[in-house]
């Protein structure tokens, strides 16, 4: 189980059309997010981001949090 409060990584989905926009979710170094510890809104945003890959958003990338 991942502790999302101390995650050093985030899974980033960037907008294909609007630089600087997109979604980011705490994850482990392999890009796994802890759905069980997300709020309902965050979970819905995560599923939306996955559904919009290639349409509105890029494939996700694991990045270190700044």
1 — pLDDT class (breaks 50, 70, 90): very low
Global pTM value: 0.85
| Per-residue pLDDT tens digits for 7-57 | 799 999 999 999 999 999 999 999 999 999 999 999 999 999 999 999 999
Per-residue confidence (pLDDT) for residue 6, from 0 to 100: 55
| Residue 4: pLDDT over 60 | no
DSSP characters over 9-64: EEEEEEBSSSTT-EEEEEE-TT----GGGS-HHHHHHHHHHHHTBTTTBPPPEEEE
DSSP assignment letter at 4: G
| Residue 60: pLDDT over 60 | yes
């Amino acid at each position: 189980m991942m502790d999302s409060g101390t995650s050093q990584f985030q899974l980033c989905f960037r907008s294909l059309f609007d630089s600087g926009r997109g979604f980011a979710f705490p994850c482990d170094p392999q890009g796994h997010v802890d759905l069980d510890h997300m709020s309902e809104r965050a979970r819905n945003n995560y599923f939306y981001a996955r559904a919009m890959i290639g349409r509105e958003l890029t494939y996700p990338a694991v990045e270190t949090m700044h």
